[in-house]
Amino acid sequence: MEPILNVKNLTMNFGGLKALDTVNLTVEKGQIAALIGPNGAGKTTFFNCITGIYEPSEGLVEITPPGKPTQKLNGLKTNYVTERGLARTFQNIRLFEGMTVLENVMIGRHCRLKSGIIKAMLRTSSQKDEEKQAVYDSYEILEKIGLDQYVDEMAVNLPYGAQRRLEIARALATDPFLLLLDEPAAGMNPQETKELDELIVWLRDNENVSILLIEHDMKLVMSLSDNIHVVDYGKKIAEGTPEEVKSNPEVIKAYLGDESEDA
Amino acid sequence: MVTKKEIKQSFFIALWFMVLTFPLMVIKVNTIKNIVVFRWTNLIWVGIVGFLASLIWNYFLRMKDEKKKADTKDNIPIVHRLLQNEKFRIPFLAAIGIFALVYPFVFPMYHTSIMISALVYVMLGLGLNIVVGLAGLLDLGYVAFYAVGAYAYALLNLHFGISFWVVLPIAALLGTIFGTLLGYPVLRLRGDYLAIVTLGFGEIIRIVLENWDELGNGPRGIGNIPSPSFFGHQFNQHNSVIYIYFIVIALVLLTIFFVNRLENSRIGRAWIALRDDEIACQAMGIDKFKTKLTAFALGATWAALGGVVFAAKTSFINPMSFTIWESITILCVVVIGGMGSAIGVIAGALVLILLPEYLRAVAEYRMLVFGALQVVVMVFKPEGLIQGVRKIYKFKKVEE
């Protein structure tokens, strides 16, 4: 299978600190991949590097959107990365609090809409149609994610689990082919986590997106993932199916510590 | 009701006020007889008033907290509820419309004149509201664009004899250009840094105007700026004020019309997203820089339009009209009116500009009262006089 995301030798230096050290990672079409590792291993830095929030010091980030040629993402600004079909959520929820739930999703549609200032001021028929379509599309996404009951609520008033789902809905509105989820289950109760598990599988099966997620909830990771990448201290230490990773001595050492260190 | 703690607190506040005002309210030096008079009764009054004021203050603060707990959802301002209700909307707007129509004929010219000032501030406020209220860019040099508009009219008329109506679109364009030019280097900054740099830019424009004698006579300013004509007809002074009044009304309506459309468009949503969370906003595919620049340039456009009207109304401009205080006043209009709320900004401008005029009745205390009112508004309604509400969309399925 052709990988849709191909990261080669990604290195990120913050001054003298090597947050990421020659990390290789690929995500294939239709895959749910997970990136795991202890706290401070560089997982979120990895996301930030691919999505253009940081510019990687070295290495190559390539994407192959379905039906399109391979493109390089290095050095592109975040908004252009999103335009090319990579959407992400954030570890600490970053919703637009001054807007309603629907408008939050409509913001996700932003880069797929075209009307500018002049059209908005004159409210041309093409702008009106586009707005109507955007409202309709956004509502449809909320229905799919199961948030349609909150449509006119202010985003900030939503319960925690719903806020996390809204982040996914918003990312989905940008029409991505790859979703990057940064700890989507953080702070969720077991019931919410179970629903999230179902949602992610459903997204992969019905929305034609592949998923790369960072997660600490091992139960969720093991049940969801087709492929797991493990990083520790900025280095990739293992890759494989859940079974392989579980029994990998390096991974066990990273998570539980070396016996010799305990002395 | 009033708790023991509150009484105790009020007691100490009263005591504190008595100490504070002692030199002012109690001691009086009679320079003719060379004696010092102690007015002890004043001290008692200060104590009583301080005590009661503190009790009332605490009472209202507590009411505010309780109200907040009671309803978190239904805090939509009454004006918005009136406007949303079909039954009230038409009569409500009609009443305002009729009032605005007859205003200059019913009230003396002085009142029309200050109403024009207030309406110019409505325009400026709505323009700055785009920059500060929607896009969240703290701009302290907004008056620079106001000056651009005013000087554009004064100079173009002085040198080329171009009339008000032709200058209006030219000034708007100039405002946009200046906004873009100044915005381009400045908008890389954010928050406090942006505020300081825009403040500097505002001052630069004023100082240039003050010292560049050849351009606009420096501090002596430009006089004899003609008031707008009506298809070539020039009104006398009295009618001219009424005419300008209606021009400003028209411009304000136009501003409200466009700003309202922008606010609920793709661009408007991008501004608010930018204000709420810059990183998430970019991750949603919004070009941060372009969005900021459009907000800045559009805000400048309305400031320039306001400047043209200002020049036409006063018929004389000099750099003293464009000091940092103007920027602060416009910012106050936006903040006290309600950030991001068009109706709030209109209310804010009317209150903030008209109030000092009508407070002349209390003469020397008017600025004191004015300042106190601003503090009261910010303590009890920190979100502004009339909070903004977001549009609720109606769902009609679109057939594809």
Arithmetic mean of pLDDT, B371-376: 84
Q: Are residues A186 and A57 in the same domain?
A: yes
pLDDT at B14 over 70: yes
- Distance from the Cα of B276 to chain A's closest Cα (Å) equals 5
Give the pLDDT confidence score for residue B295 in this predicted structure: 92
Q: Are residues A75 and A124 in the same domain?
A: no
Q: For residue range A23-50, what is the model confidence (pLDDT) as tens digits?
A: 999 999 889 999 998 888 889 999 999 9
Confidence of residue B145 (pLDDT cuts 50, 70, 90): very high
Confidence of residue A16 (pLDDT cuts 50, 70, 90): confident
Q: Note whether A98 contacts B390, CB cutoff 8 Å.
A: yes
Q: Are residues A71 and A120 in the same domain?
A: no
Give the pLDDT confidence score for residue B61 in this predicted structure: 84
- Distance from the Cα of B357 to chain A's closest Cα (Å) equals 35
Arithmetic mean of pLDDT, A96-107: 89
Q: A25 lies in a domain?
A: yes
Domain end residue (candidates: A169, A186, A213):
A169
Number of Cβ atoms within 10 Å of the Cβ of A70: 12
pLDDT at A187 over 70: yes
Partner residue opposite B272 with nearest CB, options A87, A90, A98: A98
Better-scored residue on pLDDT, B383 or B20: B20
Confidence of residue B397 (pLDDT cuts 50, 70, 90): very low
Q: For residue range A46-101, what is the model confidence (pLDDT) as tens digits?
A: 999 999 888 899 889 989 888 888 888 888 888 899 988 899 999 888 998 888 89
| Phi and psi at residue B74, to the nearest 5° | -90, 45
Partner residue opposite A79 with nearest CB, options B73, B266, B282: B282
Encode B69-106: b = buried (16+ Cβ within 10 Å), e = exposed: eeeeeeeebebbeeeeeeeeeeeeeeeeeeebeeebee
Q: Is the dihedral of CA B124, B128, B130, B134 positive or negative?
A: negative
Secondary structure (DSSP) of chain A: --EEEEEEEEEEEETTEEEEEEEEEEEETT-EEEEE-STTSSHHHHHHHHTTSS--SEEEEEE--TTS--EE-TT--HHHHHHTTEEE--SS----TTSBHHHHHHHHHGGG----HHHHHHT-HHHHHHHHHHHHHHHHHHHHHT-GGGTTSBGGGS-HHHHHHHHHHHHHTT--SEEEEESTTTT--HHHHHHHHHHHHHHHHHS--EEEEE-S-HHHHHHH-SEEEEEETTEEEEEE-HHHHHT-HHHHHHHH--GGGG-
Q: Are residues A190 and A240 in the same domain?
A: yes
What whole-number distance in Å separates Cα of residue B194 and Cα of residue B191?
5
Give the pLDDT confidence score for residue A261 in this predicted structure: 52
Considering A165-179, B57-71, B234-248, the range whose residues carry the highest mean pLDDT is: A165-179
- Strands A32-36 and A58-63, by their bridges, are unpaired
What whole-number distance in Å separates Cα of residue B322 and Cα of residue B5?
49
Beta bridge partners of B22: none
Q: A144 lies in a domain?
A: yes
Partner residue opposite B284 with nearest CB, options A77, A117, A174: A174
Q: Which of B275, B270, B261 is nearest to B290 (CA)?
A: B270
Query: Which of B393, B394, B397, B400 is the best mutation test for A, with the most CBs of A within 10 A?
Result: B393
What whole-number distance in Å separates Cα of residue A161 and Cα of residue A142?
14
Q: Whose structure tokens read 């929030």?
A: A53
Q: Note whether A96 contacts B397, CB cutoff 8 Å.
A: no
Q: Which residues of A touch B267 (CB under 8 A)?
A: 116-117, 120
pLDDT at B130 over 80: yes
Give the pLDDT confidence score for residue B55 in this predicted structure: 87
Q: A90 lies in a domain?
A: no
**Count of domains observed in chain A:** 2
Q: For residue range B321-334, what is the model confidence (pLDDT) as tens digits?
A: 899 888 988 998 89
Query: Which of A51, A54, A107 is the best mutation test for B, with the most CBs of B within 10 A?
Result: A107
Q: Are residues A80 and A186 in the same domain?
A: yes
Q: Which of A104, A105, A95, A154 is nearest to B74 (CA)?
A: A154
Confidence of residue B398 (pLDDT cuts 50, 70, 90): very low
Q: Are residues A253 and A151 in the same domain?
A: no
Better-scored residue on pLDDT, B304 or A128: B304
We report the CATH number of the domain holding residue A36 as: 3.40.50.300
Contact A32, A226 (CB under 8 A): yes
Mean pLDDT, chain A, integer:
88
Q: A130 lies in a domain?
A: yes
Q: Which of A214, A167, A172 is nearest to A34 (CA)?
A: A214
Partner residue opposite B269 with nearest CB, options A90, A106, A157: A106
Give the pLDDT confidence score for residue B89 in this predicted structure: 80
Give the pLDDT confidence score for residue B255 in this predicted structure: 92
Q: A153 lies in a domain?
A: yes
The residues near A235 (Cβ < 8 Å, ≥ 6 apart) are A21, A22, A23
Supply the range of the domain harboring residue A69: 3-85+176-262
The count of CB pairs under 8 A between chains A and B is 120
Domain end residue (candidates: A141, A169, A197):
A169
Q: For residue range B238-286, what is the model confidence (pLDDT) as tens digits?
A: 788 888 999 999 999 999 999 888 888 889 999 999 998 888 999 998 9
Q: Note whether B285 contacts A111, CB cutoff 8 Å.
A: yes
For B266, nearest residue in chain A (alpha carbons): A110
For A86, nearest residue in chain B (alpha carbons): B283
Q: Which residues of A touch B393 (CB under 8 A)?
A: 102, 135, 152
Cα B259–B264–B268 angle (5° rounding)? 75
Q: Which residues of A touch B287 (CB under 8 A)?
A: 77, 79
| Amino acid occupying residue B26 | V
Beta bridge partners of A240: A228
Q: Are residues A147 and A72 in the same domain?
A: no
Give the pLDDT confidence score for residue B216 in this predicted structure: 82
Q: Note whether A98 contacts B72, CB cutoff 8 Å.
A: no
Domain end residue (candidates: A169, A188, A217):
A169
Q: Are residues A10 and A71 in the same domain?
A: yes
Q: Which of B326, B336, B269, B271 is nearest to B298 (CA)?
A: B271
Q: Are residues A46 and A101 in the same domain?
A: no
Q: A91 lies in a domain?
A: no
Query: Which of B76, B260, B284 is the best mutation test for A, with the most CBs of A within 10 A?
Result: B284
Q: Which residues of B touch A90 (CB under 8 A)?
A: 279-280, 283
Q: What strands, in cross-sheet order, belong to the sheet with A178-182?
A: A86-88, A178-182, A210-214, A32-36, A227-232, A235-240
Q: A155 lies in a domain?
A: yes
| Phi and psi at residue B8, to the nearest 5° | -60, -45
Q: Are residues A119 and A45 in the same domain?
A: no
Q: Are residues A26 and A149 in the same domain?
A: no
Q: Are residues A60 and A188 in the same domain?
A: yes
Q: Note whether B280 contacts A90, CB cutoff 8 Å.
A: yes
Contact A188, A160 (CB under 8 A): yes
Mean pLDDT, chain B, integer:
86
Partner residue opposite A136 with nearest CB, options B73, B298, B398: B398
Partner residue opposite B270 with nearest CB, options A110, A130, A171: A110
Arithmetic mean of pLDDT, B306-314: 92
Domains, chain B, ranges and CATH? 4-70 (no CATH), 107-380 (1.10.3470)
Q: A132 lies in a domain?
A: yes
